[in-house]
Every structure is written in C-alpha cells, then in structure tokens.
A and B are shown apart, each in its own frame.
Chain A
Amino acid sequence: MTVVPIADGLFTWPADEPSLLGSSCDACSHLSFPVRPGCPRCGSTAATVRPLGRHGTLWTWTSQEFRPPSPPYTGPGDDRNFEPYYVGYVELPGELRVEAHLTDFGDDRPVIGQPVELVVVPFAENADGDTVVTYAFAPSKEVVAHD
C-alpha cells in the first residue's frame, strides 16, 4: 500500500515534522497559502516557496455535520456512514490564518484560542488503493512552560 499526499507542493512530505508550503511574493513580501501564481496584494507573479510554521492557535471553527457534495468532495464513505468532523482557521503567528481540518479532538469541542499543531493524517483511499494523506491541525502536544 502506497501513501500519497492529497496534492503535490501543498506540504513537505515525507517528513518527520511536515510543514505547509506558502509563497512569499518577491515584489512585496506578501505571504500566501497555498503557493499561488499571482500575489493577491500586488499582482506580481514572482514568488519564493517557503515552509510555514507548524504551531498556531485556533482562530475559529465549526463542525461539518453533513457530507459535502461529491464531486468535488473525495472523502470516505457515503451519506449514510458519514462521520462529522471539525474544520477551522488556524492563526500561524506572524504569518497568516490557514483553513484546515481539525483532528484528534476526541469528545472535546474546539476552543477559540487553543494551541494546535500541524499533523499529516490519512484522509481517504484513492481508486488505485493508495492511502491519501492530508494536512490537519490537532490539539498541541507541546508542553507549554509556565513561569
């Protein structure tokens, strides 16, 4: 069984500590995610790809309690066995806010402001039987030092 990322150039993979890939505009330094061919601030097409930070805080969230229309959704199952999940925007300090699936919350509701970290998790199986993996954010496992 092969493990394939949901898209090339979206996050560093394989990697022990994967990072999302953004693009920094060569003309105005505006940071974008995902890597894109035109800067939303100045319109320049020259940009440099760079990894984004792996840790952030939850800026907002919701639950997805119906199966998104397919296509375009390629997640597992069908309307009868759909498992709801959380999505949110994660604020990466000094960079930007990224939209992502939230994972490993168990029975806990997400809380705005809570620390989260980037993980790569199985998403679905493709037509070739490969496991497709995607990026997501999980509650931070880092122990935060308190003085």
Chain B
Amino acid sequence: MTEVAIVGVGLHPFGRFPDRSAIEMGAMAARSALADAGATWQQVQFAFGGSYEVDNPDAVVNLLGLTGIPFTDVYNGCATAASALSLAAQTIRLGEHDLGIAIGMDKHLPGAFTSDPVQYSLPSWYGDLGLFLTPKFFAMKIQRYMHDHGITPASLARVAAKNYRNGALNPNAFRRKPLSEEAILGSRMVNDPLTQYMFCSPDEGAAAVVLCRADQAHRYTDTPVFLRAAEVRTRRLGAFEVHSPSTPLEPADAPTVDASRAAYERAGIGPEDVDVIQLQDTDAGAEVIHLAENGFCADGDQEKLLAEGATEIGGALPVNTDGGLIANGEPIGASGLRQVHEIVLQLRGTAGDRQVPNRPRVGYTQLYGAPGTAGVSILTT
C-alpha cells in the first residue's frame, strides 16, 4: 500500500485576534504549510478542512485560489483534526491523489462550549439542569481516577505548570507566562478537583499539514516525516463518556484506548518506541489519564512519573512540548493539526528552545472530545 509522508506544516498562532477571521487564519496556516513544503496551492490535488465555528472551511479557497479541487469539510468535535488527517492519509494510501492538505481553523468566544442537547440525541432536561457541559465531566472522570489510582492534586498542578512552562518557550502559544504549582492549586475552583488554571480555554487559531505519497516526498523536502497511522474511534457501550445521563455498570475501554491500540497495530510500533508525545490536555487530569490510556504507563504510575519530571522536555516521556491545549487553548478544528505541527518540528530537530534532546525519531498525537471520539496518530522520521 502507498505510504504517506508529511512534507509541510504551518500554523497561525493560537490566541485572540479580534481583527482576523477564522478563514483568514486558515489561509495563512495553509500558505505557511505550502511554503514549508516548497509547493504551491496550484499543485494541491485535494483538501480536508475542519472547523466548529465555520460552516464551510472550504471557503478558504476564496483566499488561496479557485482551482476546482475536491475539498471536504469535516467535524468531529475536539477530534475534528484527527478526522481531517486520517481522511487525507487514506486518500493518498488508496492512490486517489498524490498531494493534499489538511487545514483546521476556529475562532471561539471565551467560556465553556455549549449547544443544544437535543442535537446530541439527549433530552432537553439534561441541558435545563446544567448537565450538558464538558468541564464537569472531565472533573468527575479525574475525581474517580484519583480515588482509584492514588493521584493527588499536586500532580494535576505539576501537569499544568509544565504545560505553561513549555508554552513560555513557544512563540505561537496563547499563554506564555509560567505559573507556579501553588498559583495553579490556589486559583479559583471551577469543578472540584480542577481549578481555573488546570483547564484549557477555547480560543482562536489555525494549522495546516501538507501530505503526499511517501515515494514522492523527496520532491518537496529532505526531512520528510512519515505518517505511520492516523486512527479515529468512537465510544463503545460501557465507556465513561462526556454527555451521558447514565452509564452501564459493565465497563469498556475509552475510545482513546481503542484508537491507540489500532494506531500501534497499524504502525507496528509500541508505546516503548515513542520519543515525543502530544496528548489531549483539555484539563490537567485528562493528560494524567491519557498517559495511561495511550499505553505510556500503568494506571497510578503517573504520580511517581510526574514527581520525577518524566514528562518534561528533557524527561523519558516528553508530553505536550509546545504547551499543549493548556498553554495554546483550543480552536477545535486546528487543535490536532497543531499537535502534528509540533511533532514534525521535533522529529526534524527544529523545535528550538523546546527541542527534545537526542534526536527523537517517533512521535505520537492523541485527541479526545465530545461525544466520545478519539483520534491517534503515529509519526516517524
């Protein structure tokens, strides 16, 4: 089967940009990715675009050029970018096209996401009661996890402090000020045990990735990064998931576990081979849980690993080296492509102040979002 290479990545900084539309940010990220690949928009044969706020991400062609290519819009909640990446990779694997682009863009208002529960096949009363909210789900998942596996609030603060510290090294990040663990623990309680500075914020930004047939990668770059797997999974009955008025007593693995196993299998790579990791840190607790759900440690080992600094840039398991969602915020459509952007820089050895030492060769990204959708990708030099 045809293999897939990433030959260009581009990012519009994440943050707040009052005078710029999401579509404009998407176009800027796309131009940046094309320039990185040494390719032109006219060479691009297909595109996938992801956004929550923008009805038609494909309208970005108004700014890039009306070339007539197939341009498919996708939306899968916080896993939107995983769908764009996965479908773009499949298009190349299947031999349909040789060169394409995945673009994600968004522009959210501050505050928790909300919508109509009826659109999620949920009853209206679920929204009336204030239960149709994601932050309290994440709080309840980590609350139970801490109870079962001996994770302390200090570990949650360590995760957030590490991500702010990494964000301070990333010129594209939204939050670039380091915060102490004391300040994080002492900030306003939002949903016990999660405080204000343990959560990411919805914000604005865009990212793009140019993909091609691996055997043509040399036309564009001397440092291709190969996309070994890009898998998306939805929840199975029994998984404890966001937006659930009830859940069965018999447990099932989270969709992240399913996507992760499928990605390792496709790539022929195991968690022990991974050198640099991007995880969905909607909140500090999510990063703790996702370390285990993606196979990087056993449940409960995070307490010791975090105390030892294992997930720091210089540690054995560097996680969210660009600051993750906590420092970058979450423009939903772009978030997962930001993760890929960071992994590509790390594998090229061009991540600057936040470069993981000893030339990492294998990178990993994971997304998770409502209503229980996960995406995992594995990339190698």
B contacts with A, residue count (CB < 8 A): 36
B248 touches A112 (CB 8 A): no
Tell yes or no: A134 within 8 A of B by CB.
yes
From B64-72, B126-134, B314-322, the one touching the partner chain is: B126-134
B132 touches A72 (CB 8 A): yes
Report the separation of the CA atoms of residues A88 and B189 in the bound assembly, to the nearest whole angstrom: 17
Contact with B along A62-103 (1 / 0, CB 8 A): 111111110111110000000000011101001111110100
Partner of A112, one of B124, B136, B143, B245: B143
Given that A6-B129, A41-B237 are contacting pairs, would A97 and B144 also be in contact in the complex, using a CB cutoff of 8 Å? no
Tell yes or no: B153 within 8 A of A by CB.
no
Residue of B nearest to A123 (CB): B129
A89 touches B247 (CB 8 A): yes
Partner of B189, one of A6, A63, A96: A63
Please give, as numbers and ranges, the residues of chain A lying within 8 Å of B40 by CB-CB distance.
Answer: none
Further pairs besides A60-B140, A69-B114, A73-B130: 14, Cβ < 8 Å: A34-B245, A60-B147, A61-B140, A62-B136, A62-B143, A63-B139, A63-B191, A65-B191, A67-B130, A68-B132, A72-B132, A87-B131, A96-B248, A99-B131
Q: Could you tell me which B residues sit within 8 Å of A by CB distance?
A: 111-112, 114, 116-117, 123-125, 127-133, 136, 139-141, 143-144, 147, 188-194, 237, 244-249
Please give, as numbers and ranges, the residues of chain A lying within 8 Å of B140 by CB-CB distance.
Answer: 60-62, 87-89
Report the separation of the CA atoms of residues A68 and B237 in the bound assembly, to the nearest whole angstrom: 27
Q: Please tell me the size bucket of the interface on A.
A: 35 or more
Report the separation of the CA atoms of residues A74 and B127 in the bound assembly, to the nearest whole angstrom: 8
Given that A34-B245, A68-B130, A123-B129 are contacting pairs, would A62 and B139 also be in contact in the complex, using a CB cutoff of 8 Å? yes
Given that A88-B140, A112-B147 are contacting pairs, would A62 and B246 also be in contact in the complex, using a CB cutoff of 8 Å? no
A99 touches B246 (CB 8 A): yes
Q: Could you tell me which A residues sit within 8 Å of B by CB distance?
A: 6-7, 10, 22, 30-34, 40-41, 59-69, 71-75, 87-89, 91, 94-99, 101, 109, 112, 123, 134
Please give, as numbers and ranges, the residues of chain B lying within 8 Å of A64 by CB-CB distance.
Answer: 130, 133, 136, 191
A72 touches B117 (CB 8 A): yes
Report the separation of the CA atoms of residues A123 and B131 in the bound assembly, to the nearest whole angstrom: 13
Report the separation of the CA atoms of residues A11 and B245 in the bound assembly, to the nearest whole angstrom: 14
Residue of B nearest to A63 (CB): B192
B249 touches A62 (CB 8 A): no
Separation in Å of the B60 CB from the closest CB of chain A? 29
Partner of B246, one of A33, A68, A75, A94: A33
A-B contact pairs, 16 of them (CB 8 A): A6-B128, A30-B248, A41-B237, A61-B140, A61-B143, A63-B192, A65-B188, A65-B191, A69-B114, A72-B128, A74-B127, A75-B130, A87-B136, A99-B131, A112-B143, A112-B144
B246 touches A32 (CB 8 A): yes
Partner of A97, one of B125, B131, B188, B246: B246
Report the separation of the CA atoms of residues A134 and B130 in the bound assembly, to the nearest whole angstrom: 12
A98 touches B237 (CB 8 A): no
Please give, as numbers and ranges, the residues of chain A lying within 8 Å of B191 by CB-CB distance.
Answer: 62-65
Residue of B nearest to A71 (CB): B127
Given that A62-B191, A68-B130, A89-B140 are contacting pairs, would A10 and B125 also be in contact in the complex, using a CB cutoff of 8 Å? yes
Separation in Å of the B316 CB from the closest CB of chain A? 31
Given that A6-B125, A59-B144 are contacting pairs, would A97 and B190 also be in contact in the complex, using a CB cutoff of 8 Å? no
A95 touches B249 (CB 8 A): yes
Please give, as numbers and ranges, the residues of chain B lying within 8 Å of A134 by CB-CB distance.
Answer: 125, 129
Report the separation of the CA atoms of residues A41 and B237 in the bound assembly, to the nearest whole angstrom: 7
Please give, as numbers and ranges, the residues of chain A lying within 8 Å of B130 by CB-CB distance.
Answer: 64, 67-68, 73, 75, 87
B141 touches A99 (CB 8 A): no
